Structure 1
Amino acid sequence: MASIIINKALAEDLETIQALGRQTFYETFAESNSEEVMKNYLEESFSTEKVKSEFNNPDSHFFIAWEEDIPVGYLKLNSGAAQTELQDETSLEIERIYVKKSHHGQKVGQLLYDQALETAQNLKKSYLWLGVWEENLRALQFYRKNGFEQFGTHTFRLGGDDQTDLMMKKVLD
């Protein structure tokens, strides 16, 4: 395995973020949802307009994990009003850490998480928080291993299905 490099996404990386988002979301959730629901969600959530709008928000931060010249995962962080729930000025939301299935178990997620932690410290945030689907056991284990604790729940609607996300946070030193 070649070494993984984490870079802040630049304007020319927009299509890479869009493609990574579609692929990794599909790989993570397709077997638990219908093809139609997945298709609709991916078209809406990763449309060029939506990704461009998120990317251009000064309170959102994107990072890409690269193995040589191949993108293998990405991270999306939100602060201030860009946060999806809490919108606490002292917090940083990890909205997405997604890694291609081909790179699961290769510490790419840990490198992306380490970037989130470093960004939170640089921004002088008091805590990190996120929402993770209650049935995504791999992600739950990962976040618990990294010191996150559940503090609530949130309903995430995918198609006609209400799914429960566990809200988790980690207080920083």
Structure 2
Amino acid sequence: MNVKITKCTQKDLPLLQEISIETFQQTFKDQNSPENMKAYIESAFDSNQLETELANASTAFFFVYINQEVAGYLKINTDEAQSEKMGKDSLEIERIYIQDPFQKHGVGRSLLNKAVTIAKERNKSFVWLGVWEKNENAISFYKRMGFIHTSEHAFYMGDEKQTDLIMTKTIK
């Protein structure tokens, strides 16, 4: 299996939007109402929103390719782009999404390792992420990867308030 991770640029916007919507729906459509899914997707994955995020120096997106096919993507944030005030010593992993056919093949591990490598290169002390409290597979994965549950925050799926567990991993 040939794995390649590349940083997204503005020219990748259409594919980023497509893969974002597709993987988000695959992950959460069965646990959320169609109305809340639609509201979230229209907000988070709007082309203007993604274009703004791609232009932000404190945010980066990466595609992961398996045998030349996009298998998923990673979104990281530092400084003011983080969704919670965690300080300058931290890097947020805001999104790791993998297409269904590539689940359970080490793709998520590759993206997580990419984020940790970037954090180390930028002399960050820890990485953190928010994961929906009902996403047991992801929580187990993050625990295996050395993350610990440190707090919670609210996440809005449309008009529904959900709880995300904040999980952190010290890297230095």
After TM superposition, is the score higher than 0.5? yes
Q: Distance in 2 between matches of 1:159 and 1:16?
A: 24
Aligned to 1:115: 114
Query: Does the 8 A contact of 1:81 with 1:87 survive in 2?
Result: no
Secondary structure of 1:85 counterpart: coil
Query: Does the 8 A contact of 1:155 with 1:164 survive in 2?
Result: yes
Q: How does 1:8-27 map onto structure 2 within 5 Å?
A: 8-27=7-26
Shift of 1:87: 4.1
RMSD across aligned C-alpha pairs, in angstroms?
A: 1.0
Query: Does the 8 A contact of 1:7 with 1:63 survive in 2?
Result: yes
Unaligned runs of 5+ in 1: none
C-alpha deviations, 1:52-87, integer Å up to 9, x for none?
011110000111101233211100000000001024
Query: Does the 8 A contact of 1:78 with 1:93 survive in 2?
Result: yes
Aligned to 1:5: 4
Aligned to 1:167: 166
Aligned to 1:64: 63
Aligned to 1:85: 84
C-alpha deviations, 1:95-127, integer Å up to 9, x for none?
001101111011110000010011001111000
Q: How does 1:34-49 map onto structure 2 within 5 Å?
A: 34-49=33-48
Secondary structure of 1:84 counterpart: coil
Aligned to 2:28: 29
Query: Does the 8 A contact of 2:39 with 2:157 survive in 1?
Result: no
Identity of aligned residues (%): 38
| Number of aligned residues | 172
Query: Does the 8 A contact of 2:119 with 2:127 survive in 1?
Result: yes
Secondary structure of 1:109 counterpart: helix
Unaligned runs of 5+ in 2: none
Secondary structure of 2:83 counterpart: coil
Q: Distance in 1 between matches of 2:59 and 2:32?
A: 28
Secondary structure of 2:87 counterpart: coil
- AA paired with 2:33? S
Aligned to 2:75: 76
